[in-house]
Structure 1
Amino acid sequence: MKHFIRGLLMGCAAATALPTIAHAQIEASPLIPATLPDGFDKGRNVSVTERPRPDYDPLGVNLGSFMLFPKVETGVGLTSNVFLTNGNEESDGFAVFNPSVRARSEWDRHQVQLNASGAFRRFFDNSIRNEDAFNLGALGRLDIGDALAVTGEAQYTQQFETPITGDVDSSLAVLSQYERDFLSLRAQYGVGQGRLILAVDRSHFAFDPIRLPTGTVIDQENRDRTLSRVTAQAEYALTPSVSFYGQANYGDTNYDTQLSPGIANRDSDSYRFIVGSNFDLSALVRGTIGAGYARRNYDSALYKDVSGLSVEAKVEYFPTELTTFGLGLRRVIEDSNIGDTNAYFDNRATARVDHELLRNLILNAIAEYAQQDFISSTRKTTFYRGSAGARYFINRLLGLQLQLSYIKRDTTGDNLGQQFNEFRGQLTLVAQR
């Protein structure tokens, strides 16, 4: 541990000498994105991270009817357990380079957004852990009259799986890279106190082979799949601050190949019904709380159908203008590719606090608990993650960000991979325009 801390301090000193700058550790996104964006923000509260800072916010580049916001992040970091193993842990340092650019239309009606970003990580002693991730996205909104808006979105991403997963052994997840192409069309109609939303989307996932340090290659072609979803939501506002909604979702999952020759894959139909509330109470709290029922029916008799409680909640509390507390809860059904299991309930709870210590110094702390309960099995994984960090705005163009984190994984049952723990630290510099 002393070597890890000493190395982190040396890495931080080296990063401050770099001419360009950057962001802290990029949080891993879920494999399956949410069907609809958050709907609780009604403009009555502003979190610490959202608050405008006129002296430090980027001005962007004026391109006439568009604004362009370029950003480059560079930095260094250290991990105490580069391969997330339970024994013979090996520490390693890494360098990160994260360029991005975002374009936004400035029209009174309609909207177009374009974005491109990359996240490149290079490990000093274990090049097999190098990561090349990127995202290309476009979003367009067409306003039809005052009540109807139609939004189309397209994305193409290449990224690595998060180790906090039950989709695959976590020791393999850190080496698992995949591509996702995503298309979405969403219509929103609002009149009076009511709002209706109808969304359709399609995602295709293609997983690259995993190359282990031993030279072994694990093919993941049988994980490639297409997910098509239809979501309908009706919402009614009792007051300008509080509304209630009901949501219904249908999903169709089709795998590209059989699990193995002669063995059917996990093709399925899924249904989810949720009721809940959106609220945004001035100078107090805002959020979404929803709960309901989810079911997944598999095409093959090899796999047992799954059903149960589904929950999605996100709440932010504003005790003062300088502090924001956040709480997130999630329980959904996900496919598993571990052993002979077909699915698991993914249960997560996340707490976060952001505090503005100074106008240009923002502190944060995050705690997360995740548990995956595998269907018709005694297998279970439990994750604990904690992190703390700070972001310092030097001026409008430059900033520093430090993030320290710890993650621990416990398992019960067979064929679930190793238990592990990891300390990680990263210092980045951010240059923006």
Structure 2
Amino acid sequence: MLGPVTGRRKRVTLLRAALPCLALITITSPLRAQILTPDLLRPVAGGFLLPQDSPLRKISENTTDNPADPDFDGQRRDKNQPAPSRIGNIPKYGLPAASGAADAGFDSLNRTRKQPKFYPGQAKPKPSPGPGTPAPAADKGSTNPNGRVRISPPPSMTANRPPMPPSMAGTLDGQPPRKPLPVDTDPFGAVGDYAGSFLIKSAVELRGGYDTNPGRTTTPQGSAFWVVAPEFLAVSNWDRHALVADLRGSFTGYGNSLPPLVDGAISSAPTNIDRPDFTGHIDGRVDVTDFTHITSELRLRVATDNPGSPNIAAGLAKYPVYATFGSTVGLDQQFNRLDVAAGATFDRTVYQDSTLTDGTIASNADRAFNQYGGVGRVSYELTPAIKPFVEAEADSRFHDQYIDNSGYARNSTGGYAKGGTSFEFSRLLTGEIAVGFAERNYADPRLGQLSGLLTSSSLIWTATPLTTAKFNSTTSIDETVLPGVSGVLTHTYTFEVDHDLRRWLTAVGKFTYGTYDYQGDGRSDKTYSVEGDLIYKMTRNLWITGTLRRDILDSNAPLASSASTVVMLGVRVQN
């Protein structure tokens, strides 16, 4: 019987008992013992086996088990050996932008990641030369020591270099394409400012000059004058509906007053010939559907009678001012290429009382009237460039004073009908032209029917990129206070040519011809106006203008003809 043993002797006894088992493994499985026994029994630092020395580890492309390989010793480096320092080594930049993104959608440079599909035999596009283009075979060795293509240049190649010019933006791989800028057809035109969803343009002109006959009298008397002319334009920028406000006005002041007597006769011109002029309208459109629109307009006209007009009474201290304001509400319906529009109109005209040179006041209530009417238009689009139309209008005028100061009842009914077309030929000739007939019948049987040919047109011909021709014509039936005269049939024709001598220097030539037919007493007036303007555009916001104009009034009435020469120099400030 064995005596008690200590703990140390017990461990030795167990080890000796395990040796036959190891021998049995060697006998029963020689291959297994050949693999495990040398590694398990080999004494190594820190344990029996290092993970990198295990013959069961995965052999990757970055490891080697060949002792002849130069990297073999590095792989079996002891774990206590420090890693090589990165100080002084140039980092490698080899990852393109969004390299870890998926292959659908867009990456951080807004490029699509979906690869295009090419048909068999279709040539694939070549990449543009740039940082991402593979280097030629002869240069690959110098581009990267590992033989890889450099995606982006190292910092040493781009340091302290000027930025890429805007004209080259979008020409390199990895950059979004650059959108072309629209062509600026008017490099010196007003740009305007946005207020919410409205584009607002404003301007003011200050002019001064000399008029040899501002009163348009038979015996001329000259006077210096000044003009202040503001302008305002606001246009909405909405997806649906529209609103446009266009307001233009002026005030002309003269340096001295005209004497009441000219060659012993009372002058037809007032002593104070200052006069205002304003034209404004606000147009709106409500898009009920894509083919149904509600249209409306508010308008205002403030002015005086034209100098030299027979409606101006003798002995006036100043021109009486009149105002015409009104509105139109209509409906525009499209049926494929057919467009039908109709609207109701209302206008009111009021006159200021006349102030005479002796201080008395003369009423002009007999010249105030209301006009109610309706207008309709039908057009058909033959082609996108030609759209013929037919338009008709009818109205009635009711004066505040049924019998005027001369004893005539001037209430009347009338209208017009015209046909024409709007066109656009290669964008060189655009506009509208129409011909028709107008007439008006008066309540007083002593006043005959007023009728005549109606012409209206607005044409713009772009002859060359530097030359533009414009032609406008209007026809109207105007009221008068002359005894026995039904009204005035007025035709006005204007022809204008604009030519750019330079982009900043424009010459303008204008010719205006007008006829005034006073039906009832046989009076007929003809007006001629020849005007030349020179515009020097210093900047978009500052223009300098010069004007020379000759006005001629030729009348068959005695002592009614006149002539005048106007010289002006001004400045225009716009935004």
Task: Using CA pairs under 8 Å that are at least 6 residues apart, name the structure with larger relative contact order, 1 or 2.
Answer: 1
1:199 Cα deviation from its structure 2 partner: 2.2
Q: Which amino acid aligns with 2:564?
A: E
Give how far 1:128 is off: 1.5
Contact kept, 8 Å, 2:299 with 2:325, in 1: the verdict is: yes
Q: Does 1:427 align with 2:542?
A: no
CA drift of 1:120 comes to 2.3
Partner of 1:63: 195
- Quote how far apart the aligned CAs of 1:135 are: 5.2
State which of 201, 204, 229 in structure 2 corresponds to 1:98. 229
**Residues 1:405 and 2:549 are matched in the alignment:** yes
CA contact (8 A) 2:393 2:415 kept: yes
Q: Corresponding residue for 2:469?
A: 325
- Unpaired runs of 5+ residues, structure 2, are 1-182, 258-270
Q: Provide closer, same or farther for how the CA distance between residues 61 and 170 of structure 1 changes in structure 2, counting only shifts above 3 A.
A: farther
Cα distance between partner residues in 1 of 2:364 and 2:199: 41
1:247 to 375, 391, 413: 391
Where 2:272 maps in the other structure, the secondary structure is: helix
- Whether the 8 Å CA contact 1:76–1:428 is kept in 2: the answer is yes
Between Structure 1 and Structure 2, which shows a larger proportion of strand residues?
Answer: 1
- Following TM superposition, by how much is the alpha carbon of 1:79 offset from its aligned partner in structure 2, in angstroms? 0.5
Deviates more, 1:325-334 or 1:382-391: 325-334
Could you tell me whether the CA contact under 8 Å between 1:167 and 1:338 is conserved in 2?
yes
Is 196-205 or 174-183 further displaced after alignment? Answer: 174-183
User: When the two structures are superposed, what TM-score results if normalisation uses the length of structure 2?
Assistant: 0.61
1:347 counterpart (483, 491, 511): 491
Secondary structure of the corresponding residue to residue 222 of structure 1: helix
CA distance in 2, matches of 1:201, 1:335: 18
Cα 1:149–1:310 shift into 2, 3 Å: same
Task: Report the alpha carbon displacement of residue 420 of structure 1 after superposing the two structures with TM.
Answer: 0.7
| Letter aligned with residue 449 of structure 2 | D
Structure 1: runs of 5+ lacking an equivalent: 1-50
Q: Which structure shows the bigger proportion of residues in helix conformation?
A: 2
- 1:11-410 matches, cutoff 5 A: 53=185, 55-87=187-219, 89-126=220-257, 128-134=272-278, 137-163=281-307, 175-211=319-355, 218-260=362-404, 263-410=407-554
CA spacing shift, 1:288–1:167, aligned 2, 3 Å: farther
Structure 1 letter corresponding to 2:192: G
Q: 1:154 to 1:382 in 2, by over 3 A?
A: same
Letter in 2 for 1:430: R
Query: 1: CA distance between counterparts of 2:392 and 2:253?
Result: 43
Q: How far does residue 264 in structure 1 lie from its aligned partner after superposition?
A: 3.8
Q: Distance in 2 between matches of 1:384 and 1:172?
A: 26
Q: Structure 1, residues 362-418: CA drift from partner, whole Å, max 9, x if none?
A: 22111112122222432111111111112222112111122221111121146xx62
TM-score normalised by L of structure 1: 0.79
Q: State the alpha-carbon separation in 2 of the partners of residues 245 and 354 from structure 1.
A: 30
Provide the rounded CA distance (Å) in 2 between the counterparts of 1:170 and 1:424: 24
Whole-Å separation in 1 of the counterparts to 2:204 and 2:531: 23
Distance 2:314 2:335 in 1: 47
Opposite residue 323 of structure 1, the aligned amino acid is T
Within 1, Cα distance between the matches of 2:224 and 2:445? Answer: 47
Report the secondary structure of 1:156's partner residue. Answer: strand
Structure 1 stretch displaced more, 230-239 or 332-341:
332-341
- Aligned with 1:187: secondary structure? strand
**Number of residue pairs aligned between Structure 1 and Structure 2:** 380
Report if aligned partners of 1:273, 1:294 keep a CA contact under 8 Å in 2: yes
Asked if 2 retains the 8 angstrom alpha-carbon contact of 1:85 and 1:171, the reply is no
Contact 2:214–2:307 at 8 Å: present in 1 too?
A: no
- Greater shift, 289-298 or 307-316, is seen at 307-316
The letter of the residue matching 1:279 is: F
Q: 1:354 to 1:53 in 2, by over 3 A?
A: same
Tell me the distance in 2 between the aligned counterparts of 1:163 and 1:247.
33
Question: CA-atom RMSD, angstroms?
Answer: 2.8
Change (3 A) 1:274 1:171: farther
Distance in 2 (CA, whole Å) between partners of 1:76 and 1:262 is: 40
Percentage identity across paired residues of the two chains: 21
Distance 1:155 1:310 in 2: 23
CA distance in 2, matches of 1:136, 1:332: 19
In 2, the alpha carbon distance for the partners of 1:287 and 1:171 equals 45
- What is the deviation of 1:349? 2.5
Whether the 8 Å contact between 1:167 and 1:335 is mirrored in structure 2 is: no
Offset of residue 339 of structure 1: 3.2
Is the 1:232–1:248 contact (alpha carbons within 8 Å) kept by the matching residues of 2? yes
**Which shifted more, 111-120 or 64-73?**
111-120
Change (3 A) 1:314 1:411: same
Q: Deviations over 1:9-44 (max 9, x none)?
A: xxxxxxxxxxxxxxxxxxxxxxxxxxxxxxxxxxxx
Cα offsets for 1:63-94 (capped at 9, x unmatched): 2222332322212121101221111x211111
Rate the CA distance shift 1:209–1:287 in 2: closer, same or farther, 3 A.
Answer: same
Residues 411 and 419, structure 1, Cα contact 8 Å, conserved in 2 = yes
